[in-house]
Amino acid sequence: MRHLMSPLDFSVEELDQLMDLAGDIEAHPEKYAHACAGKKLATLFYEPSTRTRLSHEAAMMNLGGNVLGFSSAASSSATKGESVADTIRMVSCYADICAIRHPKEGAPMVAAQHSSIPVINAGDGGHQHPTQTLTDLLTIRSLKGRLNNLKIGLCGDLKFGRTVHSLINALVRYENIEFVLISPEELRLPGYVRKDVLDKKNIPYTEVERLEDALPDLDILYMTRVQKERFFNEEDYVRMKDFYILDKGKMELAPKDMLVLHPLPRVNEISVEVDDDPRAVYFKQVQYGVYIRMALILTLLDIHVD
C-alpha cells in the first residue's frame, strides 16, 4: 500500500507515468467513468479549502466513486479532542482512500502511519502540498511540452508557501532548471530550502525584490498570495499583502510564450485584467488538477483501466 506525502514519494519515471495517465484521462474521460465504482474517498479537511477538497471529490466522482468527509475541524470530532491517529483508524473502516489537510506539519504522516487505506497529503501547514505540485507539473508539461530547460520565477510568499517548497523539490530533479526567487526580504525562501535543496544540488537561482526585473526572460511565472493565515499579527500581513500585483503593464515586459501559474485562491496579486491574456493559465491549471488527482487515485488504489 502506498501513500502520497511528498512529491518525492514518486520517482521521475513514476511521475511521467502518472502524467501520461492523466493525459489519457483528459483525452478519454468516458473510459474511466466507472473505474472506481463501489469505492469511497474520505476527505478529512481540518482547515478550509475550496479547490483541493472539491477537486479530490470531483476526481473520485468522475471515476464513478463516492465521497464522504468533513470540511473543517469544527465539524469533526477533533473538537472533542480526538487524535488524527484515532480518526484515520475509524475512517479506514468507512473508506478505501483518504485525502487529509491539516494546519500542523506532519499530521498526514501520522495519519499514514496509523491507516489501513492509502492516504493523500492534501496540504500540511507550511510544509508540503504534493497534489498541487503534481497539478503544477502536469500543467507545465502539457502546455510547455517539457519539464526541463526552464527558467521559473517564483513570486510572493516564498517563506510560508508550501506550494512553492513542494514545487522546488519536484523540479530540481529535472535537467537545466533555474529559479528566480521574487519576494520581499521578510518572505524570502527559507534557508533550509536554499541550502538543503538548491545549493546541495547546485541548482542556479537568483533572488530579487522587483517583479519587473525578473519578467523579461522567464519561461514560467508562478505567483502566490501572501497568506494571512500564516501570519502572527495583522500588521505584518497588511504591510506585505499588496507587495506584488501582476497587471497588464507588467505582462508587457514578459516573453510572448511565458506561462503564468497560480495555485489559487487569488486575492489581488494578479489583476483580473490579466485573466484574458492567453499566457494566464491558472484556471486551466485547476482543470489539470482534477485529471492528475484522478490518475493519483487510480494509482494508489492500484486500479488499471484497459
Give the pLDDT means over successive 10-residue stretches in the chain (306 positions).
94 97 98 98 91 95 96 63 91 97 92 98 84 97 98 93 91 97 91 95 96 96 75 59 84 98 91 97 97 98 96
Residue 58: Cβ within 10 Å count: 17
Position 161 scores a pLDDT of 84
On whether 162 is known to bind a ligand per the annotation, the reply is yes
Position 77 scores a pLDDT of 61
Decide if 275 is inside a domain: yes
Which of the residues are catalytic? 51-52, 80, 101, 129
Amino acid at 148: N
Verify that 142 and 197 share a domain, yes or no. yes
On whether 80 is known to bind a ligand per the annotation, the reply is yes
Decide if 306 is inside a domain: no
Q: What is the pTM of this model?
A: 0.91
Position 82 scores a pLDDT of 82
Q: Which residues contact 105 (CB under 8 A, 6 or more apart)?
A: 124, 125, 126, 127
Verify that 108 and 179 share a domain, yes or no. no
Decide if 63 is inside a domain: yes
Verify that 297 and 279 share a domain, yes or no. no
What is the domain-level CATH number for residue 195? Answer: 3.40.50.1370
Cis peptide preceding 265, ω within 30 of 0: yes
Verify that 137 and 56 share a domain, yes or no. no
Position 67 scores a pLDDT of 98
Verify that 113 and 213 share a domain, yes or no. no
| Distance of alpha carbon 132 from alpha carbon 113, whole angstroms | 22
Verify that 158 and 266 share a domain, yes or no. yes
Position 184 scores a pLDDT of 85
Count up the domains in the chain and report the number.
2
On whether 52 is known to bind a ligand per the annotation, the reply is yes
Provide the domain limits for residue 138: 131-285
